[in-house]
A = this chain, B = another copy of it.
Amino acid sequence: LRRNATSNLKKALGKIHPADIAHLLRYFDVHEQKTLLELTPDLQRVADVLAELEPDSWPQIAELLDRDYLISIIHEMADDDSAVFIRSLPDDLGEQILIALHDDQSDDVEYLLGYEEETAGSIMSTDVFFLNQDISVRHAIEALQDSEDYEMVFYVYVTDEHNHLVGVLSLRQLLTVPPTTKLADIMSTNVMRVRSDMDQEEVAQMVAKYNLLAIPVVDDQGKLLGLITVDDVIDVMRDEATEDILRMAGTSEEELLLGYKSFQIARLRLPWLLTTLVGGVVTGTLMWYYRATLEQVIMLISFIPVITGMGGNVGGQTSTILVRGFATGRIDFSMIRQVFLKELRVGLIMGLVCGIVIAGVASIWHQNLYLGLVVGVAMVTAITVAACMGVVVTAFFKKIGVDPAIASSPFVQTVNDITGIMIYFSTATLFLPYLT
């Protein structure tokens, strides 16, 4: 790659879509990425590529690039992109860049940096195209013709003299009325909007629910601050889904940004594993406590894995339904009682089916009807309890403000391992006289 073919490479980099270049760059290490970025013609293009790269590769690349070059790239970014970019950098580097940017841009960026992460304010663009309600359609069209600086103008937002958002127009509406009409007379006054401190996930849900292309962001007085476009919402939705999925598996979305760095990835996953480890040792202690029962009836060991495995699985299913329900807005706390009762019923039904199956297996395998009874009863109880635990643990995490996605894997599973073993061995101990 680093040979003479650079001029061809330059040409290619000038033609490929920035998103594709960003995709290609993933296959290279950070030094090669830097070289390729520098080879890419046109600063606007480089800015687009950089914005499309994985956010966690930004700090490394930023450190490698020449400072002035970096600043001229950031200069070409939309202000929401550059705010997100600068936010990702180490504080001192971010400071330096803010100082070096031209005054007007750095004001906008600093302003965006003032919003808390993952709020509407932090993902909005301040490049929103809006007009005063008193101007005419003719003037509006003229303004539109000069509006090259704005991203994706599809709606025209209309404000009053104090910048309060009062209406919205589609471009087509402008074309279908006489040029002297005032905007206030044709605008629709029913404008969906979000407050700047709304959580980005809620914003995404709203845009998805109402099939919007963009949603304006206002402050608590209703003043227009910025715009969130649907492409940002898509990114938010995908990231939130990925976040949930990875957290449910006991790792974190940061992992995706570490590439092939095994040590860092291991460090990220280990806390969850150590939780499971502690849980496993607790379960083991319980089994040790019941060892007398086990020594007397060694055939009990054959059903330990199935009892703990099923409990973990059922708890995981229930917890997942809740986690996803909370995330998509399908479930809220007002329904939690109904959901609990449903999961209780579902758990009981599944427990009965699995209990009967495993009771049959146990009776036939070890030629012992009482063993079948013990295993069957334990299975029904363990599965039903697991289903309830799935709801209780997940809802509890949600209630205390911890992401319920992290509840579903290690916690629910560990809780259900422990209850499963307790149920199994206490049932067995109860029936001990019949088993020996």
* CB closest residue in chain B, given A421: B305
Contact B321 A255 (CB under 8 A): yes
Contact B154 A277 (CB under 8 A): no
Query: Would A279 and B309 be within 8 Å (CB), given that A234-B207, A328-B238, A357-B274 are in contact?
Result: yes
- Inside 8 A of A316's CB, which chain B residues have their CB? 249-250, 409
- Inside 8 A of A358's CB, which chain B residues have their CB? 277, 281
- Tell me if A219 is interfacial: C-beta within 8 Å of chain B: no
- Tell me if A301 is interfacial: C-beta within 8 Å of chain B: yes
Which stretch, A56-64, A120-128, A262-270, touches the partner chain B? Answer: A262-270
Partner of A248, one of B176, B230, B248, B350: B248
CA distance A208 to B285 in the complex (A): 50
- Tell me if A97 is interfacial: C-beta within 8 Å of chain B: no
- Inside 8 A of A88's CB, which chain B residues have their CB? none
- Tell me if A80 is interfacial: C-beta within 8 Å of chain B: no
Which stretch, A39-47, A179-187, A288-296, touches the partner chain B? Answer: A288-296
* Shortest Cβ distance from residue A171 to the other chain B in the assembled complex, whole angstroms: 5
CA distance A252 to B207 in the complex (A): 25
Partner of A284, one of B141, B212, B305, B319: B305
0/1 interface trace, chain A 1-43, chain B, CB 8 Å (1 if under): 0000000000000000101000100100000000000000000
* Shortest Cβ distance from residue A363 to the other chain B in the assembled complex, whole angstroms: 13
Chain A interface (Cβ < 8 Å from any Cβ of B): 17, 19, 23, 26, 141, 144-145, 147, 152-154, 171-172, 175-176, 207-213, 230-231, 233-235, 237-238, 241-242, 244-246, 248-251, 255-256, 260, 262-263, 265-266, 269-270, 272-274, 276-277, 279-281, 283-285, 287-288, 291, 294-295, 298-299, 301-310, 312-314, 316-317, 319-321, 323-325, 328, 330, 338, 341-342, 345-346, 349-350, 353-354, 357-358, 361, 408-410, 413-414, 417, 421
Task: Give 18 pairs: A residue, B residue, CB < 8 Å, sorted on A.
Answer: A19-B209, A144-B172, A211-B234, A230-B230, A246-B320, A248-B320, A256-B321, A256-B325, A260-B342, A269-B314, A270-B353, A273-B313, A274-B354, A277-B357, A279-B309, A280-B305, A305-B421, A313-B409
